[in-house]
Structure 1
């Protein structure tokens, strides 16, 4: 009975995980286009899906813990070895873990994109506000004096 409940929980996670993967891919496009409204909508949807997936993960862990099994892959393998649907349980778990790994890879790429955009924006703001001293030479061959930061209205 526990094995069928566990299999059902794993199977139930495929749809929200697929939605999460699609949202992460859409988020990637929205990040490149800097579509802030769309990014806010995606964030809300991602949070709801992640909460659902975490709840299912906790339930799976509780099932394994109630059987005095480790709450990781080893515990699942031990349960599968005693179950008539053990092979199916392991196959579905592996497929779920593979999808999770794909989501994580997309999320890492999105995070890197955000960091690049933050650095670019910070550099643009430095240029506009004069925050970075110029590394130019004046007519006498010496470096320019430090420029005073200026408000954006005067940039």
Structure 2
């Protein structure tokens, strides 16, 4: 009975996991275009899917734990070895794990892109505020003093 419940849970989670993967791909495109209006919508949907998938993951772990099995791949393998639908359990478990790994990898790429954009924006702001002026040489060959920061209206 628990094996069919677990199989159904994993099958049901494939749809929101694919939706999350699609949202992460859309997020990547939006980050490149810097469209913050669309980003807010994607982030709201992404957050809802992550919460849902976390809840379902805890439920799957509880099912395995209630059977006295480890709450990881090894536990799933043990359950599959005792179940007539064992092969389907392993196949759905692998499919779900692959999708989740793809989501994690894409999320990390998006995070790196966000960090890069933050560094770039901070650099641009330093230039506009006059805090990132290059060291120049004067007519005597010595370096000129650092320029004082200017208001943005004078940049």
Counterpart for residue 60 of structure 1 = 60
Q: Does 1:88 align with 2:97?
A: no
Aligned residues: 155
CA apart distance, 1:18: 0.8
How far apart are the structure 2 equivalents of 1:72 and 1:27?
A: 30
Corresponding residue of 1:25 = 25
CA deviation map 1:61-120 (0-9, x unaligned): 000111111111111111111000011100110011111111111111111111111111
- CA distance in 2 between partners of 1:139 and 1:120 (Å): 33
Mapped to 2, the partners of 1:146 and 1:24 lie a distance apart of 44
**What is the CA deviation profile of residues 40-67 of structure 1, one whole-angstrom value per residue up to 9, with x for unaligned ones?**
0000000100111011101000001111
The alpha-carbon deviation at position 150 of structure 1 amounts to 1.6
2:36 matched to which residue of 1? Answer: 36
Q: TM-score, normalised to structure 1's length?
A: 0.97
Are the counterparts in 2 of residues 134 and 147 from structure 1 also a CA contact under 8 Å? Answer: no
Q: Distance in 1 between matches of 2:153 and 2:93?
A: 57
Give the Cα separation in 1 of the matches to 2:118 and 2:35: 15
* Paired residue secondary structure (2:145): coil
Would you say the 8 A contact 1:20–1:46 is kept in 2?
yes
Look up the match of 2:123.
Answer: 123
Can you give the 5+ residue segments of structure 2 that lack an aligned partner in the other structure?
A: none
SS at match of 1:20: helix
Runs in 1 of length 4+ with deviation above 4 angstroms? none
Q: CA deviation at 1:134?
A: 2.2
- Structure 2 length-normalised TM: 0.97
The offset of 1:133, in angstroms, is: 4.1
Give the Å deviation of 1:132: 2.1
Looking at structure 2, the residues matched to 124 and 139 of structure 1 have their Cα atoms a distance apart, in angstroms, of: 29
Match of 1:149 in 2: 149
Deviation of the 1:135 alpha carbon? 1.5
* Two-structure CA RMSD over aligned residues (Å): 0.9
